[in-house]
Amino acid sequence: MPGLLRAICWIESQGSVEYEDLQRERLGLWALTPEVAREHGLDLTERPDPRLDPVMSTLAARSYLMELFYQTGGKSWLLASRAYPKGPGARRDIRRRKNTWTEEELGLWHW
């Protein structure tokens, strides 16, 4: 999983702790939305915003990715990583399709 985390971090923010996407309200190294950040332990009333803290945001991102992984039935890190940038909507998609994944979607190949 560590390599997967690095890839997600790079894709989401190009590794910048100062990343901002104000249109989608995503912030920090992991481009966390306010909803995902709060649900995974960050107090957004604190200043500076904890999504800008590399340690705090990494813990929240890991927690969110683990949640997505377990929602696939613990079957696919690849599917969880694909769902990560979709934010809270990804959970609905995963729940709706639970146990209907193809081998390709489950990522049963090496990448």
pLDDT value at position 70? 87
Tell me the mean pLDDT in the region 49-75: 90
pLDDT value at position 76? 79
Long-range contacts of 68-74 (CB under 8 A, 24+ apart): 68/94, 71/95, 71/98, 72/98, 72/101, 72/106, 73/98, 73/99
Query: Between 37 and 99, whose confidence is greater?
Result: 37
Mean pLDDT over each residue of the chain, to the nearest integer:
82
The CA distances from residue 106 to 22, 40, 41, 60, 91, in Å, are 32, 25, 28, 24, 16
Q: What is the pTM of this model?
A: 0.79
Cβ 29 vs Cβ 50: under 8 Å: no
Confidence label for 101 from pLDDT (cuts 50, 70 and 90):
low
Question: Cβ contacts of residue 10 below 8 Å, gap of 6+?
Answer: none
How far apart are the C-alpha atoms of 111 and 27, rounded to whole Å? 28
